[in-house]
Chain A
């Protein structure tokens, strides 16, 4: 008889619950929850507050799950960038398997809760959005093409569609236009950021447009994407889907966006450039989306 001796299992420190929270990218969640809520409030049918809360919770949990799976897959990449170096995985505060299990578990939980508690149409779109972000954006496109964030932007554009579907049980033209707005807003938003943090992305080997195609192309693309974005932003008014409050707000806010985008599109970086126009466009782009969706909800309440 042989005696098999096994090494004493080494004690490992379990990750803190705060690290699991950090895995869900709570800051990104703010915009997701806001646009999802606005999509829900813009719907012609009022949803029961408990079910509405459940739907928003599921959108937030789904986004958190996608964020966790993104961090699980990109731990090596995150370790190379200053901005992401302190995340739980690259900092070594959590093992990869915990992050994977947490992400998959949270994703399944959010979809099932949405399906059982709200409706299965909303649950189906939530599933598509999570899979889109994790598989199409994170795994497939991000490291392969400089158009990564164009397609990846679609993942962030789903929440208003999910919010609307949660309230009505179907999909209509208005939430599809809201989807298009966020989808087309993403490239100018991220490329403005990429213009002033490009060294970070370059070090990590992510093919962001300024790194791969150069600054000139990036600036032109920012200008070009702003055109269809402006059309998607203003279209709901002439199409009769919203009232004048949204229409006028959309024209003014989009006009400012376009002016800032033209400034960025037509200039070239000088030596010792502080990149002020790029930073201004980036800052405005965030405010812009909040203001547009806010205007939509106000418009709905006034004209309802």
Chain B
């Protein structure tokens, strides 16, 4: 097996970072939505 070269490693790290960024963005949106729902339910 050949050693992975640095370009290959960086490319994979980049793609993982992108997915994590998307997931974090989604999580932030979800937490915002849950908070709004909880506030509304508190008002009712």
Contact = CB atoms under 8 A, between A and B. Distances in A.
Interface residues of B, number: 17
Nearest to A116: B34
A16 B15 contact: yes
A48 B30 CA distance: 13
A48 B13 contact: no
A17 B4 contact: no
A12 interface: yes
A54 interface: yes
Given A50-B33, A50-B37, A51-B34, A17 B6 contact: no
The SS class assigned to the B binding surface is helix
Interface string A17-29: 1000000000000
Interface string B22-44: 00000000110110110001000
Interface of A: 10-14, 16-17, 48, 50-51, 54, 57, 116-117
Given A10-B3, A14-B9, A54-B30, 14 more contacts: A11-B3, A11-B4, A11-B6, A11-B9, A13-B4, A13-B12, A14-B12, A14-B13, A17-B15, A48-B37, A50-B34, A57-B30, A117-B30, A117-B34
